[in-house]
Amino acid sequence: MNSALTDIGVVIVDDETGACENLKNLLAEYCGDGLNLLGIANSTREAEVLVEKLAPDALFLDIEMPPENAFQFLERISPVNFEVVFVTAYDEYAIRAFKLNAVDYILKPISITELIDATRKLRERIEYKRLSSANGTSFADMGRQMAAKGKLQKLTLKDAGNIEVVDFKNILFFEAQGSYSRVMFLKNDTVREKIMSTSLSDYEELMPADLFYRIHKSFLINCQHVRNIIRDDVGQVVINNDFTLPVSRRRFGALMEFLKNNDYYNG
């Protein structure tokens, strides 16, 4: 690994030569300070050779690269000693990527803002890792602290070619609709919605447990947006003064305790 905190060695991995060149140019123009492009690989086999030879700090990694995709590659060479930023045209892999604690997940065509944000998070995580190692922090403690520091703060939502990148704080709630989910969120103080081909259980696992709470088999809410609690025959919560959602009887007491313990609601 590189020793200087300002020098982060990266490798681009994508089976499309044009995509590699595009990302290389974007990184150089918008994110070059402190980044050192060590090499480019057009397959996971080439990437494996570069990882072994160059010991990069991070990979900008495409997902679909037949005959072996990025997840199979990472599993095959596990344990990995580098960070990963996924850069892909496929949004259906986002949940799996986040579960792998990736630094970020950027959709093609690449947004300059998202790329800059991803490289910022990459620098923070790598510098924190190096400082922790230099100070003798145990690997277990370092892992926990990095996980806490490196939590993603936004969700990428895409349907019919339209992409929204939403901060967790702006998500109101998720509603199960079979194997799909309806995502209600705020954009410019206006309530928006998207139907995603991701289950509520996957979102429950992905969202931070100190912010989101499963109040019902069909609803996962952002507790920051709870405005009122209705104590009736059927418990309900009012979200953002716009939505009244049911709370299952067996979850009501635990929900109230959770809200009060985390200072989300004291009514």
The predicted-structure confidence for 161-177, as pLDDT tens digits, reads as follows 577 889 999 999 999 98
The pTM assigned to this predicted structure is: 0.59
Structure tokens at 263: 């200072």
For residue 142, what pLDDT is reported? 39
For residue 121, what pLDDT is reported? 85
- Contact indicator for 36, 81 with CB cutoff of 8 Å: no
- Give the phi and the psi of residue 97 in degrees, each rounded to 5: -65, -45
Q: CA–CA separation, 155 vs 167, rounded Å? A: 6
Least confident of 144-148, 154-158, 165-169, 254-258: 144-148
Listed by start position, the domains of the chain span: 8-152, 155-261
Mean pLDDT of 44-69: 95
Residue 84 has pLDDT above 60, yes or no: yes
Half-sphere exposure of 240 (CA within 13 A, CB side): 16
Structure tokens at 160: 């019919």
The CATH code for residues 155-261 is 2.40.50.1020
- Contact indicator for 203, 221 with CB cutoff of 8 Å: no
For residue 219, what pLDDT is reported? 97
Burial of 39 (0-12, 13-18, 19+ CB in 10 A): middle
Matching fold, domains 8-152 and 155-261 = no
Structure tokens at 256: 């109230």
The class (CATH top level) of 8-152 is alpha beta
- Give the phi and the psi of residue 197 in degrees, each rounded to 5: -85, 50
Q: Which residue has the higher pLDDT, 140 or 127?
A: 127
- Contact indicator for 243, 184 with CB cutoff of 8 Å: yes
For residue 13, what pLDDT is reported? 98
For residue 132, what pLDDT is reported? 58
Q: CA–CA separation, 167 vs 186, rounded Å? A: 9
Residue keyed to tokens 């635990």 = 254
Burial of 115 (0-12, 13-18, 19+ CB in 10 A): buried
pLDDT class of 149 with cuts at 50, 70, 90: very low
Q: CA–CA separation, 196 vs 173, rounded Å? A: 13
pLDDT class of 141 with cuts at 50, 70, 90: very low
Which residues on adjacent β-strands are paired with residue 68?
Answer: none
Chain mean pLDDT for the chain: 86
Which residues on adjacent β-strands are paired with residue 159?
Answer: 162
- Contact indicator for 100, 86 with CB cutoff of 8 Å: no
Q: What is the pLDDT of residues 188-218, one digit of tens each?
A: 899 999 988 788 988 898 888 899 999 999 9
Sequence-ordered list of residues with C-beta below 8 angstroms from that of 109, at least 6 positions apart, any chain? none
Residue 124 has pLDDT above 90, yes or no: no
The H or E element that residue 178 is part of is: none
Nearest CA to 197 out of 180, 212, 220 is that of 180
